[in-house]
Structure 1
Amino acid sequence: MTANHLERSMADVLGSILDSDDDELLVVDPTVSVMESLVDIAADYEGDLPTLHVLADDRLLKDLMDDFLVAADAADLVDSDRMTLRELDGDVDNTLVVGEGVLYALVSAGEYVAALSADDESFITDAYESYHGMWADATPFVLRTPSLSRVRDTLDDDIGESVRADFDTVLQSLETARGDGDGLDEVTISLLVAAKNDVLLYDISKWGEDIGIASKATFSRTKTRLEEMGLIDTEKVPIDVGRPRLRLKLGDERLRTAGSDELASVAHRMLN
């Protein structure tokens, strides 16, 4: 009989399940907290991670993937074939984690989270076959965010190691990276880090468009907004042919004196 798991957090429960011997697990109808924890744990998992097939509500996935921190880690998992994301057609009574020989229902109550296991082998087999068939027929969810590994590699190659290091530090200081008032979005983060390192607007916006973060127009609009609010300054840099290009600089003393780990929090306070 597979044991129940009782922990104080969703992350601990999922970690216990991932440590099992299953090569493949289906995660059916996850909540936001389940998906956030699953992506976070899987992205840093040490050892042989089971292949994770996720069947989730497409609206939940779209909203969740607006957070660059979650989306970029999920993209890494998808690109490395450690996770698939597909759209669930309908609802399930509980969030389920299903393997060939295991079936868990995830339940939160008070200060604890539990993974309650089924012990009837024929029921587990039927559930696995049913949900695996559902997953096989489901529409793949298109994840448009570039993977975090690609972001880092291209920042190193196209912009510079110092920019990539600052970008990593800023991301590590954030709990969310979305532009809805709860945090800074990936375009704002990129521009602030570029300004900290005196990078040309042309270079950072071309990089962002090339890897799929956002269009040059989006970078330009965001730069204008940040400039109007005093977070960023620009200076013209003459070139041999054509209009001068703009070098980005931090526009406020509070930002210029902030460390990379404080840059996001200072900018967020200024924007709000």
Structure 2
Amino acid sequence: MVDEENLHGGSFEEVLATVFESTDALLLVDPAGRTVEAVTTVTSAVAEPPAVRILTDDRVLKEVMDDFVVASTAADHVESGTLTIRTGTTAANTLLLTEESVWALVGVDDHVAALGSDRDGFVAAARDTYEGQWERAEPFKLRTPPLSRVRETLGEDIGQDTRADFDATLDALESTREATGEFDEVTLTLLVAAHNDVLLYDISKWGEDVGIASKATFSRTKTTLEEEGLIRTEKVPIDVGRPRLRLKLDEDQFEGATPAELAAVTLDRA
């Protein structure tokens, strides 16, 4: 029995995890960015997540998907078929609709609650309304590549040591960035590349091919990092054409740099 039953938790993740356990499919209507982020987190953590559809305002999605980790994790779930996202007319409240119930989500400070109902008439009316909105809604196009593809190709194209540094630095960022905000994935990638003495040509070509950013963006960010004294470059002659540039961390700024230190620099520049 769900009717007039409340779910309580310290976070949206806790409440969503509870709902995930009881359904094979759900439609999330009008979530805030924090709730969208929670969906990507819980979907990653659950062994067999339900099929999730998100319907919300385009502005909300653009803002939350500006975060590389959220967007790339969402892209993984979209690619696997677990997550579908559309934009269009939304609701007055954040709603979770399953086959048999409707939940209204409310978050206040560090507490989240969901008020549920499984009354047949109410659930049917809600589903008719929002399924209709879903059918009329436009698909949301994610421009960020799946995180699994980023990691896999980084190891294959650049090197497993660089991938290990990337993963460790990303983990360090995830443990600290909630209080400090977003970060720039190009800066992160270049710092990790410099820590491993990777050629600018190689990392920027990989970054453009995988869909992180253009070669021009990598080049501009490299110049900025040089001007700030964080990295330096060494010319590497090649048989034909201009020398390539090898990225290196500036020894005056970094000595035996750890992933946590690289993460801190990345956040400071966000």
Settle same-fold status: TM greater than 0.5: yes
Structure 1 residues 23 and 193: CA distance shift in structure 2, 3 A: same
Match in the other structure for 1:149 = 148
SS for the counterpart of 1:205 is helix
Alpha-carbon deviation of 1:177?
A: 11
Alpha-carbon deviation of 1:176?
A: 9.2
Gaps of 5+ in 2: none
| Residue type at the aligned position of 1:148 | L
Match in the other structure for 2:41 = 40
Please list the CA deviations of residues 235-258 of structure 1 after superposition, one character each: whole Å capped at 9, or x if unmatched: 000000000000000014443322
| Residue type at the aligned position of 2:84 | T
Alpha-carbon deviation of 1:125?
A: 1.6
Match in the other structure for 1:59 = 59
Number of positions where the alignment pairs a residue of Structure 1 with one of Structure 2: 266
Please list the CA deviations of residues 37-72 of structure 1 after superposition, one character each: whole Å capped at 9, or x if unmatched: 1111112222x2110000011111111111101000
Alignment of 1:250-269 (within 5 A): 250-269=249-268
* Cα distance between partner residues in 1 of 2:59 and 2:175: 18
Alpha-carbon deviation of 1:225?
A: 0.2
Alignment of 1:92-107 (within 5 A): 92-107=91-106
| Residue type at the aligned position of 2:77 | L
Structure 1 residues 152 and 258: CA distance shift in structure 2, 3 A: same
* Cα distance between partner residues in 2 of 1:183 and 1:62: 14
SS for the counterpart of 1:54 is strand
Alpha-carbon deviation of 1:114?
A: 0.7
* Cα distance between partner residues in 2 of 1:10 and 1:75: 20
Tell me, yes or no, if structure 1 residue 237 matches structure 2 residue 239.
no
Alpha-carbon deviation of 1:267?
A: 4.6
- Superposition misfits of 4+ residues, deviation over 3 angstroms: 175-178, 266-269
Match in the other structure for 2:196 = 197
* Cα distance between partner residues in 2 of 1:114 and 1:134: 25
* Cα distance between partner residues in 1 of 2:55 and 2:204: 34
Match in the other structure for 2:68 = 68
Match in the other structure for 2:78 = 78
Structure 1 residues 177 and 247: CA distance shift in structure 2, 3 A: farther
Match in the other structure for 1:25 = 26
Structure 1 residues 196 and 76: CA distance shift in structure 2, 3 A: same
| Residue type at the aligned position of 1:246 | L
Question: Could you tell me which of 15, 18, 26 is aligned with 2:17?
Answer: 15
Q: Report % sequence identity.
A: 53
Match in the other structure for 1:246 = 245
RMSD: 1.9
| Residue type at the aligned position of 1:32 | G
| Residue type at the aligned position of 1:4 | N
Structure 1 residues 177 and 167: CA distance shift in structure 2, 3 A: farther
Match in the other structure for 2:8 = 6
Alpha-carbon deviation of 1:11?
A: 1.1
Tell me, yes or no, if structure 1 residue 158 matches structure 2 residue 157.
yes
Q: 2:187·2:266 contact (CA, 8 Å) conserved in 1?
A: no
Structure 1 residues 110 and 197: CA distance shift in structure 2, 3 A: closer
SS for the counterpart of 2:192 is helix
| Residue type at the aligned position of 1:83 | L
Match in the other structure for 1:88 = 88
